Structure 1
Amino acid sequence: MNQLPLIVITDLDGTLLDHKTYEFRAAQPALSCLRQMKIPCILNSSKTFDEMLGLRERLQNKDPFVCENGGAVFVPRDPGHGFNSEVTGSSYNSILKVLHQLRTQGFHFRGFNDMTATEVAAMTGLSTDDAELARRRNASEPIIWQDAPERLDEFASALSCHNLRLLKGGRFYHVMGMNDKSEAITFFRDYYRNHWQQEIKVIAIGDSDNDLAMLEAADFPIVIPGENATLTPANPAAIIAACKGPQGFNDALLALLKTIGKEQRHG
């Protein structure tokens, strides 16, 4: 049984990682607290599998993780034996075929598949090597919209005819299957309920539109102020962090853990 029947599911860019520098030093006290309390910290990002492997190492994270906005879930096997995976989204090749078709219909956009690693690096601030990892997609395609803003709804409608959706992230629009980041809440609530043989609560942390479904499905949502606006999830339990990025992650999560711990002791 876990010390607290809790799991944390968190976004990365703009939340656990600084939006511009990708640093997470300010969040180290909260991350250390989670490890000490044996509370899983599940990374849930638009990033690819290859990107996530390196990040987990930097973060000293050995917990399950979710790639490409809920498109694929990875659970570690025994050390050195890889991962069990479950793909919930549409395949990358099927997404590219639809995008090619829509481009011939007159929509103007540019995706990672159209860019070199150097171009992706320039747009994201990643190194060229890391940008190449970001181009290795499994279940989604980030795009830059180059058409009239009023055509976005028409584009989204055309995607929906192919069972795809358009989601706005921190830097890009993401073309993907009908999955979203809330898939992680459903999957891991069941996974840890079976693993620990007790009911669990989920803390979700995010900052942008593609985190909204995840925040609304959580027991304890923490909203990190975004670069341009702050989300307002329709979840009455939502907490708005006082700071952006990893500092906001750290302060809001530590305060919430303290509150939950007190309630459990006096409950």
Structure 2
Amino acid sequence: MRLIFTSLDGSLLDIESNSYGAARQALSALERRSIPLVLYSLRTRAQLEHVRQQLRLEHPFICEDGSALYVPEHYFPAGILDEQWQYQPPYYVRALGLPYSRLRSILQQVRQDSHLDLVGFGDWTASELAAATGIPVEEAKRAKQREYSEIFSYSGDPETLRQGFAQQEANLTQHLLQLRQLHLSSPPQKWYLTGWTQPAMTTEPGFLPGERAVRLLLDCYQRHLGTVKTLGIGCSPADAAFLRWMEQKVVLPSPIADSLWSEAEPQWQLAQLPGPEGWNEVVLTWLEETDHGDE
């Protein structure tokens, strides 16, 4: 059995046009072979559902930087998903992150206590968000349907911001906050906030919270199908969460790919072409190399 994990922005989707057109050949090849394509993204469930509909995908996906896994009902046989998965038709859902309402409360508290100018997606209407980010209003509506993360703008000192959230984290019980800058965003700087229960963390050096979601899903596939050959394709630091667990790891060239290599191991590969063009080439090459394997 073969399986692919991929990021979207700058990988399968062109960073400027949001198009996957250059990857059509590889996508068709995967569909003909019934090879699952798992999307891992910082985007919301609503945004990923829209992409999955365009791509005609019916496989599991991981949203909001590993905060939740969505498995279509009837995808795995009985016994693969345990009682920690919640049935929310048409999915079984495994939530790993703090609820959006809790994150919004934390953001508001930091804003008040530290006197910082923080403006989150939850503070804007869809029209205001579209105007501020340059995305279509319909996409802004999907981006606002957040469940486990918040994106907000802040132009001040990053260390002051981190101290404000560290103070709020100290008040949490069995939860940790993760705060990261989003690259390739126009001023003011965008930040991405998520929260995690303690079991999602480990003392293992370099462990990323989103890795728990990847490991849970891989375990489901392995218990269902046995040995799984895996390919991971990414282009940004967030993609290390799934790349580290793939048998073959490929990084597509991008303005922020260099920072991803801080997580890299010797067997990681750098593709020749960026974006969906590179994605198409990587997948077709991998299929050619593995088509005569032990499936």
Alpha carbons 2:11, 2:235 under 8 Å: kept:
yes
Q: Which residue number corresponds to residue 226 of structure 1?
A: 254
Q: Which amino acid aligns with 1:208?
A: S
How many residues were matched structurally? 258
- Alpha-carbon spacing, 1:123–1:33, altered in 2? closer, same or farther (3 Å): farther
1:208 to 236, 239, 257: 236
Q: Which amino acid aligns with 2:221?
A: Y
Find out whether 1:146 has 2:142 as its counterpart: no
1:109 to 92, 96, 118: 118
Task: Work out the CA distance in 2 between the residues paired with 1:242 and 1:156.
Answer: 39
Instruction: Name structure 2 gaps, 5 residues minimum.
Output: 76-88, 201-208
Instruction: Name structure 1 gaps, 5 residues minimum.
Output: none
Give structure 1 regions of 4+ aligned residues with deviation exceeding 6 angstroms: none
- 1:1-267 equivalences in 2 (<5 Å): 5-78=1-74, 82-106=90-114, 107-155=116-164, 157-158=166-167, 160-161=169-170, 162=172, 163-170=176-183, 171=185, 172-178=190-196, 180-196=209-225, 198-230=226-258, 231-232=260-261, 233-261=263-291, 264=293
Task: Work out the CA distance in 2 between the residues paired with 1:125 and 1:260.
Answer: 41
Q: TM-score, normalised by structure 1?
A: 0.87
- Alpha-carbon spacing, 1:35–1:124, altered in 2? closer, same or farther (3 Å): farther
Alpha carbons 1:169, 1:209 under 8 Å: kept:
no
**SS of equivalent residue, structure 1 residue 93:** helix
Alpha carbons 2:60, 2:70 under 8 Å: kept:
yes
Q: TM-score, normalised by structure 2?
A: 0.80
- Alpha-carbon spacing, 1:155–1:91, altered in 2? closer, same or farther (3 Å): same
Q: Which amino acid aligns with 2:281?
A: D
Task: Work out the CA distance in 2 between the residues paired with 1:256 and 1:237.
Answer: 15
Task: Work out the CA distance in 2 between the residues paired with 1:60 and 1:251.
Answer: 20
Task: Work out the CA distance in 1 between the residues paired with 2:147 and 2:280.
Answer: 31
**Deviation per CA, 1:73-98, whole angstroms, max 9, x where unpaired?**
1111259x611111111111111111
Aligned identity (percent) is 30
- Decide which moves more: 114-123 or 186-195: 114-123
Q: Which amino acid aligns with 2:30?
A: L
